[in-house]
Structure 1
Amino acid sequence: MPPARDAVFPAGRQALYERNRYSPAVRSQGLLFVSGQVGSRPDGSPEPELARQVQLAFDNLNAVLAAAGCTFADVVDVTLYLVDAERNFEQVWPVVMANWGEAPHPALTGIGVSWLYGFQFEIKAVAKLPDPV
């Protein structure tokens, strides 16, 4: 019987995962559950410029998806977290839309938060894994 949780680790960015003791993603029951991805540099530190931080979060999400054999087109559910959403939404949304792809789009929940471990934006996703060959 396969394990209930099969962790997926992309190349790089290990410092953040090791320091905080979590898996970037877990495969289970035909789905990929991706931990919240932030706009961190390779050493795990936050990118200071907000639009660039959002793009890096998507880049990091796409790296995790690729490590599991997925793309953003396989994503079925997304949760976005944004610090000071009322002030930052207009800066963030164009970057999100540039990475969103074609319809049909995934389900989306957006949450304004007060703190994200020094980051301003985080994206969490669930994707359908490719069917086994």
Structure 2
Amino acid sequence: MPKIETINAPGLPIPAGHYCHATRAGNLVCVSGQLPVRPDGTHTGELPFEEQAEQTLSNLRAVLEAAGAKLEDCIEVTVYLVGIEHWKAFNEIYARHFGEWKPARAVVPVGALHYGYLVEISARAWVERG
């Protein structure tokens, strides 16, 4: 069994709950659900959906980078949206961040998230060790 590393991204707030930003076991990186919290720890629940989605994807990118990965290494992404009406806008923002790469993905409508957030994203990435 590979050693499991815990990872917290520098520049992002330490998680408030009993978890880390990500874990890495061998080549597999599992990223905890990322919310649109700003790097200084302030909340964005009052912002429009598009700004929350951008912040969440920026946080996902930062956590992946701290684990030695990038968006193009993602093999699976799970997105939780408050209000399925945000799906179209999210899909456009997501496509801009991921470019040509299309990992497996699920978009799950949910009733509510902490602090009035409208989006949360978790992911798994595969990174070849060099």
One-letter amino acid of the counterpart of residue 108, structure 1: R
Say whether the 8 Å CA contact 1:70–1:130 is kept in structure 2. no
Aligned to 1:90: 88
Displacement after TM superposition at 1:91 (Å): 2.5
Paired positions, count: 127
Tell me how large the CA RMSD over aligned residues is: 1.7
Aligned to 2:19: 22
Q: Does 1:35 align with 2:32?
A: yes
Displacement after TM superposition at 1:49 (Å): 1.8
Question: Is there any run of 5+ residues in structure 1 with no aligned partner, and where?
Answer: none
For 1:92 and 1:106, the matched residues in 2 are separated by: 15
Aligned to 1:78: 77
**CA-to-aligned-CA distance 1:27-55 (integer Å, 9 cap, x gap):** 01420000011111121412522101101
Aligned to 1:55: 54
> Is 41-50 or 67-76 further displaced after alignment?
41-50
Identity of aligned residues (%): 30
